[in-house]
Chains A and B, each alone.
Chain A
Amino acid sequence: MTATQPILNVSPAVSDEVRKTTCYMCACRCGINVHLKSGKVSYIEGNRDHPINKGVLCGKGASGIKQITAPSRLSQPLRRVGPRGSGAFKPISWDEALELAVSWMKPLRETAPEKLAFFTGRDQSQSLTGFWAQGFGTPNYAAHGGFCSVNMAAGGIYTMGGAFWEFGAPDWERTKMFVLFGVAEDHDSNPIKIGIGKLKARGAKIVSVNPIRTGYNAVADDWLAVTPGTDGLLILSLIHCLLEAGKVDLEYLAQFTNAAYLVDATEGPTKGLFVKNAESQPFVIDRRTQMPAPWDGKGVEPDVGAVWQGHRTVFQHLAERYLSPDYAPETVAETVGIPAARIRGLAAELARVAFDEAIVLDREWTDFRGNTHKTMPGRPVSFHAMRGISAHSNGFQTARALHLLQILLGAVETPGSWRMKPPYPKPVEAHPTPHFEAVPGKPLSGPHLGYVRSPEQLALKSDGSPARIDKGFSWENPFSAHGLMHMVIPNAAAGDPYRIDTLFLYMANMAWNSSMNTEKVMEMLTAKGEDGEYIIPRIIYSDAYASETVAYADLILPDTTYVERHDCISLLDRPISEPDAAGDAIRWPVVEPDRDVRGFQSVLIDLGARLGLPGFVTPEGKPLYRDYADYIANHQRRPGVGPLMGFRGNGDQVGRGAPNPDQVRRYIENGSFFQAHVPEEAAFYKPWNAAYQDWAVATGFYESPQPYLFSLWSEPMRRFQLAAEGHGHPQPPDHLRARLKVAMDPLPLWYPPYGETAGEAYPVHALTQRPMHMYHSWGSQNAWLRQITGKNYLYVPTKIWREQGFRDGDWARVTSPSGTITVPVAHMAALNENTVWTWNAIGKRRGAWALDKDATEGTKGFLLNHLISELLPEQGDGMRWSNSDPVTGQAAWFDLRVRIERVEPEEIVQPNFPTLPFPGGRT
């Protein structure tokens, strides 16, 4: 028989049209090709030309098509008609909705602007939302960084003027050893996966330090199952080993860090600050002359070993501290849960790769001192970390410790190591300080968020009480650069530091997985005062989907999906740069909404105009912008600098130039992004590279070159320590002095996370992470993704599994100092033996997200949030101690300690809550 195969058309038309825009299934911002057939989205794939994803797309991105048609999409503005939390709404028109919002907000602006708290769950469009809040005049504005990873951001900026997140990257092409600390699947997701793929293709070594061996850690060549919250101690022990063996890059330290600065030894208010010259500049001792010399003088060779008039260098303080036996592997092994030999082994491997396998690029460059270097030597060791080490109450100091380790190895901004992405490097000094003074009818004098250098820059009222509702930039958390979104509702409900009137939230699921202590937060949102009114009188919420939080709002402003609106991924907030290029991008409506919804940014601009906020109205009081697209093209933050850097002026100006009305169209033609490439001689040593500094000024990142030295010793931190010791003004409240003295140490240190105070009754660490196919996604109700992960288990390590006599199918009761949950368990051997964990945010409230009331997300899925309090257990002093990092206010999610007991299998997880109806009913 002759085979007669069907004749196939192997070249079918793929689609009618491809529209290139930017993904928003998470915070990664990949380029996507949206295919359309008959005007409907038929297929979404990665854009090969795009700098972030280079054609690839993750599990979320490729499922975006189901997000566009999800039944959970809100379809019209809604006004609450039943009690809060009941989910009873009536549809209203956009005009009614906006007028209502204005009628609530306008009187606040005229009398007490701080009574409006505006917080956005997404830090996209932050330059617009922040600008709006600034115009309104409320100090109460931030995005979600405070409960996400501000420790990583602040730790990086205060130490080296750059941070991990997506603001830097290993030199994937050259690095030979990549060390990953903690869960890091949260940001920069496709670039890191692409990078790991490059390392794997070359057979380069990946080491993971993580209690849980999933995801990136699963492919790591070596795994250290560190005890949660002890990474800092482990890192300092590695530093101990390197110093002991003399394996640090002294020349790098001398040239590019403050290692050679002299630390004032005089007892009194200047002790521990840098010794300054007559111009109030720190200086160094020149090795050639043994005399003081300017830190940035041409030809100066800073001496890290100098002693001058009794003042010793930063390097000496640092070496002395970490050489102490307190940091010896043998001392720390039990605490960190890793044998001393393994710690010494890792240190030796780091040293071997950094120094014995050093690489040199034959590229000439000139530094800020005017010295020309023939080559660019590099240390091919790179690191990355995110939430894993960040979400602890010692996370800031741990992040600092990790950056110190990088710097001691000469492994920042050198070939083969870790590189910053423009507009970084950007030192603390180039960032604003916080602005917070609310004046009725007036805008704030500057941006809300910034980097505090000294106590007098704290956001305190004249009576010393916090100016912000989240107590950001207060003595409780002086460097809270991203605010503390997780404290807004608890503080507002407690009237501490004051009451607010209107809470305005965007894409923030505060009544569910974005809050600690979810059940209590629901109570706070529905709590009434003696007058019968809600304690938080008004809540406005914007979201595209029927999330759990919708039920708790009084007014719903329905957003579009990400393919139905304009967006701007800007160098003014969170761009899509790569180490070799600055980059920004847009989204545009590749399809029109089929519902009565509006893009949130356009709504915000409309509200700004209706409220007459500066920057949103013409001198005649008319709306300044038609919509967000109009704003993107025409808004100027500084003369010639706007949201987008590409196609400015006549269309060929980059970075600086007059607004170009054609700009958005040009972006669309260019695949919805733009890149400005870093010149080759400027590609490394950026903080000190004159060519880079000049390029950065030309591209509009700053107005003059900003070379700086890395802060091994942090003078801003020492200023707070001095205050805690009783020097200067303002002074911290007495109950915070002891804590500040420890937490604000100018050299990285480790202290036990505050979660340890739970005590021996709670011997087990409990962690969460989101699966890669749902991280930072607003789409875990997605029809495809929920088939992959529609319920979660508490993973239990072998030791506890056996102790408790668990078997497959069992459930457990898990108890923390603040709550109890009853949930299904599963066994996992590749796990730190004292740690349990689960996938986060799989559990949903029944009825939310338009899922069936019996969907497994509601019956078998669960949150650990119920076990985590936003406050530490009462300490008998009447104080509300926030469960946050004492430096930045970062929510200490991962400090959680629990105990676990086997129970008979249940039908439904506990706690469980009444089923939510679909808001506004089905149309």
Chain B
Amino acid sequence: MTQLPATTGKKLGLVVDLDTCVGCQACVTACKGWNDQGYGVPLSDQDPYGSDPSGTFLNRVHAYEVQPEAGPAQIVNFPRSCLHCEAAPCVTVCPTGASYKRVEDGIVLVNEDACIGCGLCAWACPYGARELDAAAGVMKKCTLCVDRIYNENLPEEDREPACVRTCPTGARHFGDFADPDSKVSRLTAERGGFELMPEMGTKPTNRYLPPRRKGPPEAASPLAPLLDIQATGFAGWLDRMLGKI
């Protein structure tokens, strides 16, 4: 089972728009909330009100500062979760077959009943997408809300991952990358969506849209004064101004 499927029917994944993400952490806690009561064991917290709290989260939002060669530094908010890689190294290293990539849609999942909690899959993942739950001793990761996206108990419009549904700015998009006409495929094509750490050879499914160019408009010309106010005085300006009505 830890053999990766040669192909998957769909390639479900996310597009994260770094030009739009304001770093509000909504996706982080919506993910925590859904998955605390959804697929598999809850996402536990240790010492939640103490001096050294820690807990399992499947989605984290970082903030980076980018200094371009010219112009001021920029802040980019950066959500990070499982990228549901095509060549998922976390799957092949698993000794028990608990880690697997679904044939029908490419979602990478952990069968928690078979997980021995060895942590090797987390070691194999470049993206830090897997966190071993300290209470349950099994590996937790983004399920792409597999228990939402097909869930017939949810209204059709809600059949998307919790992080996508909650994102206030609409910076997260869910869809099928195998379909060139899907929203995620089109956004990737139009906005130059990229892979994270391509050098790791993991062939991530998820794509990130880069921040758009920042700074003042390139071809801006300042406003031309109506006339030389110093020469004409205020009255001259007013006459010219009112003549415009």
Known: A241-B223, A786-B53. A14 touches B154 (CB 8 A): yes
Taking the nearest CB of chain A, how far is it from the CB of B6, in angstroms? 10
- Nearest Cβ distance between residue B69 and chain A, in whole angstroms? 13
Q: Which of B1-55 contact A (CB under 8 A)?
A: 1, 3, 5, 17, 19-26, 28-30, 32-34, 36-38, 45, 47-51, 53-55
Instruction: Verify if B198 is at the interface (C-beta below 8 Å from A).
Output: no
Residue of A nearest to B223 (CB): A245
Report the Cα distance A149→B154, complex, angstroms: 41
Chain A residue total in the interface (Cβ 8 A): 99
A855 interface residue (CB < 8 Å to B):
yes
Return chain A residues, CB-CB under 8 Å to B165. 45-46, 55-56
B199 within 8 A of A: no
Check A661 for interface membership: any CB of B closer than 8 A: no
Alpha-carbon gap, A657 to B44, bound state (A): 51
Cβ–Cβ contact A784 & B55, under 8 A: yes
**Do A784 and B29 touch across chains, with their CB atoms under 8 A apart?**
yes
Q: Which residue of B lies closest to A325 (CB)?
A: B230
Min Cβ gap A561→B in Å is 16
Interface membership of chain A positions 250-262, coded 1 if the CB is closer than 8 angstroms to chain B and 0 otherwise: 1100100000000
Docked Cα-Cα span, A790 to B244, in Å, equals 59
| CB of B38, distance to nearest CB on chain A (Å) | 8
With contact pairs A200-B19, A246-B240, A246-B241 given, residues A829 and B151 touching in the complex (Cβ less than 8 Å): no
Decide: B224 and A783 in contact? CB cutoff 8 A.
no
Residue contact A323 to B237, C-beta cutoff 8 Å: yes
B181 within 8 A of A: no
With a CB–CB cut-off of 8 A, which chain B residues contact A196?
20, 22, 169
Tell me whether B151 and A10 are in contact (CB under 8 A).
Answer: yes
Q: Would you call A197 an interface residue if the criterion is a C-beta within 8 Å of the partner chain's C-beta atoms? A: yes
Given contacts A219-B21, A244-B223, A345-B220, contact A56 B103 (CB under 8 A): no
Contacts of B226 in A (CB 8 A): 244-246
| Most chain B CB within a 10 A radius of its CB, from A5, A219, A242, A351 | A219
> How many residues on B have C-beta within 8 angstroms of the other chain's C-beta atoms?
88
Question: A10, B150: Cβ atoms under 8 Å?
Answer: yes
Q: How far is the CA of A218 from the CA of B20 in the complex (A)?
A: 9
Interface string of A342-358 (1 = CB under 8 A from B): 10111111010000000
Whether A305 and B242, one on each chain, are in contact in the complex, defined by CB atoms closer than 8 angstroms, is yes
Q: Which listed residue (A3, A197, A220) contacts B171, Cβ 8 A?
A: A197
A881 CA / B217 CA spacing, docked (Å): 45
Q: How far is the CA of A46 from the CA of B157 in the complex (A)?
A: 13
Say if the beta carbon of B201 comes within 8 Å of chain A. Answer: no
| Residues of chain A within 8 A of B49, CB atoms compared | 71-72, 781, 783, 786, 850-852, 855
Contact yes or no, B65 A828, CB < 8 A: yes
The answer to whether A772 and B22 touch (CB under 8 A), given A14-B151, A58-B168, A344-B223, is yes
A772 in contact with B25 (CB, 8 Å): yes
Q: Given A219-B20, A222-B216, answer yes or no on A194-B26 (Cβ-Cβ < 8 Å).
A: no
Per the bound structure, the CA–CA distance linking A250 and B243 in Å amounts to 11
Known contacts A42-B37, A784-B45: does B21 contact A8 (CB below 8 Å)?
A: no
B24 touches A11 (CB 8 A): no
Q: Mark B215-245, 1 if CB is under 8 A from A, else 0.
A: 1110011111110010000100110111011
Q: Does A6 contact B (CB under 8 A)?
A: yes
Which single member of B38, B55, B113, B157 contacts A48 (CB below 8 Å)? B157
Q: Which residues of B, 92-110, contact A by the 8 Å Cβ criterion?
A: 100, 102-103, 109
A246 is contacted by which of B55, B215, B244 (Cβ under 8 Å)? B244
With A13-B153, A37-B37, A345-B222: A787-B55 Cβ-Cβ less than 8 Å:
yes
* A392 within 8 A of partner (CB): no
As a 0/1 sequence over residues 163 to 200 of chain B, the CB contacts with chain A under 8 angstroms (1 = contact) are 00111111100000000000000000000000000000
- Once the chains bind, are A197 and B238 in contact (CB under 8 Å)? no
Among the 9-residue stretches A59-67, A598-606, A887-895, the one with 4 or more Cβ atoms under 8 Å from chain B is: A59-67
A459 within 8 A of B: no
Q: Any chain B CB within 8 A of the CB of A523? A: no
User: Of B146, B211, B240, which is within 8 A of A10 by CB?
Assistant: B146
CB distance from A742 to the nearest CB of B (A): 23
Q: A43-B37, A246-B241, A829-B65 are in contact. Are A213 and B170 (CB under 8 A)?
A: no
Q: Is A124 positioned at the interface, with any CB of B under 8 Å from its CB?
A: no
Given contacts A14-B153, A251-B245, A341-B222, contact A773 B237 (CB under 8 A): no
- Decide yes or no whether B76 CB sits under 8 A from chain A: yes
- Judged by a CB distance under 8 angstroms, whether A689 is at the interface is no
Q: Which residue of A lies closest to B67 (CB)?
A: A829
Q: Mark B197-217, 1 if CB is under 8 A from A, else 0.
A: 000000000000001111111
Q: Does B73 contact A (CB under 8 A)?
A: yes
Contact of B223 among A4, A8, A200, A347 (CB under 8 A): A347
A3→B151 contact, CB < 8 A: no
Chain B residue at minimum C-beta to C-beta distance from A849: B49
Chain A's closest residue to B66 (CB) is A830
Q: Which residue of A lies closest to B43 (CB)?
A: A784
A398 within 8 A of B: no
A residues 430-483 with Cβ under 8 Å of B? Answer: none
Instruction: Looking at the assembled complex, report how far the CB atom of A852 sits from the nearest CB atom of chain B, in whole angstroms.
Output: 4
On whether A12 and B166 interact (CB within 8 A), knowing A348-B222, A784-B32, the answer reads no
Cα separation A43 to B33 with both chains bound (whole Å): 6
Give 9 closest A-B pairs by Cβ, nearest first: A59-B25, A193-B168, A245-B223, A829-B73, A197-B169, A854-B51, A197-B170, A783-B48, A218-B75
Interface residues of B (CB under 8 A from A): 1, 3, 5, 17, 19-26, 28-30, 32-34, 36-38, 45, 47-51, 53-55, 57, 63, 65, 67, 72-77, 100, 102-103, 109, 111, 113-114, 146-147, 149-154, 157-158, 162, 165-171, 211-217, 220-226, 229, 234, 237-238, 240-242, 244-245
Other CB < 8 Å A-B pairs besides A218-B77, A241-B223, 11 of them? A45-B30, A45-B34, A190-B168, A193-B22, A196-B169, A221-B212, A222-B214, A246-B226, A783-B49, A788-B25, A854-B50
Query: What are 30 A-B residue pairs whose CB atoms fall within 8 Å in the complex?
Result: A10-B146, A11-B150, A13-B153, A14-B154, A55-B165, A57-B30, A58-B25, A62-B32, A62-B166, A63-B33, A72-B49, A193-B169, A196-B20, A197-B167, A197-B171, A213-B73, A218-B63, A223-B72, A223-B214, A323-B234, A345-B216, A345-B222, A348-B221, A772-B24, A787-B45, A787-B57, A829-B65, A830-B72, A830-B75, A852-B47
